[in-house]
Structure 1
Amino acid sequence: MGAGGTGSSVSRRSSLSPLTSASWVTSKAGGRYEMLWHMMRQASPLGTRELVLFALLVKAYALVYTFSRVHHYTLWKFFAKLLWKNAATRPPVLIVLILLGWSWVVRTCTAAGMELELVLGGPTKPSSMAVSCALVLTNIFLSVHLVHLLASEVPGLTWRPWLTTNVLLHAVLALVIAAPHKWLHADARTSLLRAAWDSLIAPFAPVSFWHVIVADYATSLAKAFADVQLLFCEAHAIASLPEQPGAPYTRTTVLWEQMHPACVDSPFNPALLALPFWVRLCQCLHVYAHTKEQKNLWNALKYSTAFPLIYLGWHRRVYPSPFASRLFVLAAVLNSSYTFVWDVLMDWGMLRWDKERSCWSLTMREQTIISARKATYALLAAFNLSLRFLWAMAVFGAVPTRGHGMFFFEAMEIARRTVWAAFRIEWEYVAKVLPKASATYAAVDKDSIDGEDASLLPVHDVERALDRGPKGAATAGARALRPLGTDVDL
């Protein structure tokens, strides 16, 4: 939700006296939570009300946890019911994590001096907007689950509060995000939805860098798409069970486990898992059709390696055998290795061939923006490599892959994608924006830039010099820097 329409200035309210509910939330959190509180309060004109509602909901949850009579929760079980118990609970939490991660991406890139609108193709909302949206969705999430927890305290209910409220939550979140209302940053949501729609019809729609970012985030949500299919499949199966008068009530969790094999083995599950990769494949082929650059075919091949992995994972569940497991591991190694190498060489441009030393010599690129320390980029590569191969822990049974185990893997993938996005934007800025800025600056009268010699300025000082030049030159430079249609490295 970063490349929205015209960005309005964020209105900041005057400081309010500390609220009792807010103090209750932040009393044990220390300085970090106080900083988060301050950032959230300035997120939007509705930030204060949203934060007060959040504090009240947290208090309500504390009361339910403390005084529950029907359910005797441990703290682990209490959070499990909300966050990671199974496929019904995880997708909304992942959406909130993505918004918080995108806020970090925007803050990191802008703090490094990058003008994101020159890369994303339009005015970019401030990082506080993503935090505000995450807070709104969190309040919806907590409100709906509070109904579930309170209803669970009433004995004798047969409308299955846990399952019903989870289905309702997904429907409400879909309406809040996709409905044509003016609430919740309508221009940013419109930009996001338009990019998502263009990505779905990629062979027939333009592909910009913003489309690429949105579609790549969708690949990190592939398991969440499959989780949504699983939720609605199981909800339909449970709701379709015939009523048996006089029969004892069967808990929803028991029925969920009974219906799980049929729903997870449905062909719709792997189809939704594969959909984001199919979208990226079509985008790569679309760009190749316009540019004829062979690297787009190699990128398309990268995304196509996900399909054998998805099929073999499904085949291993339905027709288990040692041979199927070995093929699955082989496909996973191929996919993870290919994507990791592509991340380092193409998406981040971290390594360059040094032909002066040797035809096989690789060196770290000199020009960086986010960090001047090369060790940061080495740690980035190691971080990406480890998370790319975390799937191996599940394959070899080191951790459970349902419940908290699957939530851990999905959350780590969101973390990896967040870091990937920041450095992907950096490389796009270095490769596309700065060369155009340098060319534009060379055409500006050197005497108009406080007497500095333009030929002696390093590339990373070009934009700073442009800002000190005449307004007309800066405007011309901004126009020259704006990304062009499908001219994008995928």
Structure 2
Amino acid sequence: MEKSDIASKGLYFSTVFKVPAPQRFIVLLVLALWIWTWILRFFSHNSLDISQVILTRVPHDIRPGYTLPQLHRTARNFALKITRLIIPFHFITVLLFEYKNVAEAPANNIVLVVFFLPLLQSMIIFWFLLRDCQIINYCVRRCLLIEPSPRSLRNTYILLSDTLTSFAKPLIDFTLFSSLIFKEPFTHFDLSVALFPVLVRLLQCLREYRLLRDKTLLFNALKYSCNLPILFCIWQSRVYEGSINSERLLHAQRWFMLLNSSYTLFWDIRMDWSLDSLSNLRSKSKSVVTLKKNMYHFAIVIDFVLRFWWLWVYLFQGLEFVAPNTDCLFFQGEMQYLEVIRRGIWVIFKLDAEYYTKCVSK
């Protein structure tokens, strides 16, 4: 393939996936809803009733929990409802963004609407989510008071809070652009927002350790702590932008990211998915795994590739179709889409491990 063809292919990807940064957060939320629907369908297809390992109703509700088919149907209907609501807003937002960018002097009210629409959409999504999903409402209100027992309730907490950490980078972009409603962006406020999901999981781990005295939880807390120096380097690189200190901070940031990616990859496979051997997978148990073995191997490879995607971008900067000094290989924001997809894969094998522990290995 000639260089011009490669470059045009990269341009094609950039054009197709060209979504304004604040609107990308909305697209990712909708994508996450559909991934959750697909996950439920996947478990239904593989005859794994994961409704036994997650709590689908609030603890004081005496009604029986949702069955897997009911859970899938409810999730699908909710995703459809949100998608239908967001699609008109999405196209209006994208068109107005394009108009703002090409117009020499766009009207102030147009600019205000452009930055307000993604905020409005996020409010709509979260309002419906908290109104229609009582268990999510319950866990959100008590996110720092995570309850280790029953295990199914803890799993629900973990799924929500860990998924939130995958939205850290989209939250930075969303907050930065949304703050333009107030004319000037809030200085470093976006980093504070990105810090919130990390602190939630960190404090949850510490609370669980205080209740259970399980030292594994301290190592889990350490895993989330690895994000703190990365955010610190980003903050300091903004302060010293353009100076030699900025380059040093960027170099240090990459080392911290390497540590974080390596630690989290190990934790995903060994602790969250309960896999202790690449060949035998769960070698300490005589029971067979619940899914096909090649699924686990595929998930491990994908998790490795996506955990280190930032590294591949850095290493392949010299390629023709990669724009210099960017954080993407194919299109802007690709890492955020890939992280949401990776989180979906993580959820599958996390729930598989919980199902294995509760229903198979005993």
Query: Which TM bucket (shorter chain)?
Result: 0.7 to 0.9
In 2: Cα distance, 1:190 partner to 1:162 partner: 36
Q: Is 2:117 the counterpart of 1:168?
A: yes
Matches within 5 A, 1:2-401: 84-85=19-20, 87-122=21-56, 123-124=65-66, 125-147=70-92, 149=95, 158-161=107-110, 163-178=112-127, 186-187=131-132, 189-199=133-143, 202=144, 204-207=145-148, 208-237=154-183, 263=186, 266-320=187-241, 321-351=246-276, 363-365=280-282, 367=287, 369-372=289-292, 374-395=293-314, 398=317, 399=322, 400-401=326-327
Relative to structure 1, the CA distance from residue 432 to residue 340 in structure 2 (aligned partners, 3 Å threshold; closer, same or farther) is: same
The one-letter code sitting in structure 2 at the alignment partner of 1:92 is I
Q: Check conservation: 1:141, 1:169, Cα contact below 8 A.
A: no
- 1:218/1:423 CA distance change after superposition, 3 Å: same
Indicate the RMSD between aligned Cα atoms, in angstroms: 3.1
Distance 1:186 1:275 in 2: 23
Q: Distance in 1 between matches of 2:350 and 2:280?
A: 18
The C-alpha deviation readout for 1:397-449, integer Å capped at 9, x for no partner, is: 725238974421000001100011000000011113335xx5xxxxxxxxxxx
Unaligned runs of 5+ in 2: 1-10, 57-64, 149-153
The one-letter amino acid of 1:168's match is L
Q: CA deviation at 1:159?
A: 4.1
When residues 404 and 141 of structure 1 are mapped into structure 2, their CA distance, relative to the original with a 3 A threshold, is farther
Unaligned runs of 5+ in 1: 1-73, 239-261, 353-360, 439-490
The answer to whether the Cα contact below 8 Å between 2:130 and 2:136 also exists between their aligned partners in 1 is no
Paired amino acid for 1:304: S
Deviations 1:20-79 (A, max 9, x none): xxxxxxxxxxxxxxxxxxxxxxxxxxxxxxxxxxxxxxxxxxxxxxxxxxxxxx987875
Deviations 1:354-394 (A, max 9, x none): xxxxxxx984216455522x232222111101100111244
- Please state whether the residue corresponding to 2:107 is helix, strand or coil: coil
SS in 2 for 1:340: helix
* Separation of aligned partners in 2, 1:271 and 1:406: 23
Deviation of the 1:330 alpha carbon = 1.0
The code of the aligned residue for 1:349 comes to S
Q: Is the 8 A contact 1:387 1:416 kept in 2?
A: yes
Distance in 1, matches of 2:234 and 2:288, equals 39
CA contact (8 A) 1:369 1:426 kept: no
What is the aligned counterpart of 2:350 among 409, 413, 424? 424
Query: 1:142-166, CA deviations, whole angstroms, 9 ceiling, x for partnerless residues?
Result: 222444548959x997245365145
Q: How many residues align?
A: 317
Give the Å deviation of 1:333.
Answer: 0.7
Distance change in 2, residues 1:351/1:161 (3 Å): same
Report if aligned partners of 2:53, 2:355 keep a CA contact under 8 Å in 1. yes
**Could you say what secondary structure the match of 2:214 adopts?**
coil
> Structure 1 CA distance, aligned partners of 2:96 and 2:259?
48
Offset at 1:237?
Answer: 1.3
**Offset of 1:191 from its aligned partner?**
1.6
Q: State the AA in 2 paired with 1:371.
A: L
Query: SS of 2:232's equivalent?
Result: helix
Q: What TM-score results when the alignment is normalised by the length of structure 2?
A: 0.77
CA distance in structure 2 between the partners assigned to 1:147 and 1:363 by the alignment = 52
Q: Which has the larger radius of gyration?
A: 1
* Residues 115 and 180 in structure 2, CA contact (< 8 A), matched pair in contact too: no
Using the TM superposition, give the Cα deviation of residue 104 of structure 1 relative to its aligned residue in structure 2, in angstroms: 1.5
SS of residue in 2 equivalent to 1:89: helix
Equivalent residues of 1:119, 1:433 under 8 A apart:
no
- Following the alignment from structure 2 to structure 1, what is the Cα–Cα distance between the partners of residues 266 and 329? 31
Q: Is the 8 A contact 1:84 1:404 kept in 2?
A: no
Write the letter of the residue equivalent to 1:325: L
Deviation at 1:112, TM superposition (A): 2.1
Q: 1:307 to 1:395 in 2, by over 3 A?
A: farther
Structure 1 residues 99 and 318: CA distance shift in structure 2, 3 A: same
SS of residue paired to 1:338: helix
2:87 is paired with a residue of what secondary structure?
helix
- 1:218-269 C-alpha deviation (Å, 9 max, x unpaired): 000111222221122222116xxxxxxxxxxxxxxxxxxxxxxx65xx2212
Higher relative contact order (CA 8 A, sep 6+): 2
Distance 2:109 2:290 in 1: 50
Q: What is the CA deviation profile of residues 291-350 of structure 1, one whole-angstrom value per residue up to 9, with x for unaligned ones?
A: 111111111111111111111122223324332122111101110000000111100011
- Retained in 2: the 8 A contact 1:109–1:370? no
Residues 1:307 and 1:403: Cα distance change in structure 2 (over 3 Å): same
Q: TM-score, normalised by structure 1?
A: 0.58
Q: Is 1:413–2:339 an aligned residue pair?
A: yes
Aligned partner of 2:75: which letter?
Answer: A
**CA deviation after TM superposition for structure 1 residue 110, in Å:** 2.4
The answer to whether the Cα contact below 8 Å between 1:274 and 1:310 also exists between their aligned partners in 2 is: yes
Q: 1:434 to 1:389 in 2, by over 3 A?
A: same
Instruction: Please say if residues 313 and 329 of structure 2, whose CA atoms lie closer than 8 Å, have aligned partners that are also in contact.
Output: no
Opposite residue 157 of structure 2, the aligned amino acid is H
Q: Which amino acid aligns with 1:210?
A: T
Change (3 A) 1:172 1:324: closer
1:173: how far off?
Answer: 3.7
Cα distance in 2 for partners of 1:163, 1:403 equals: 32
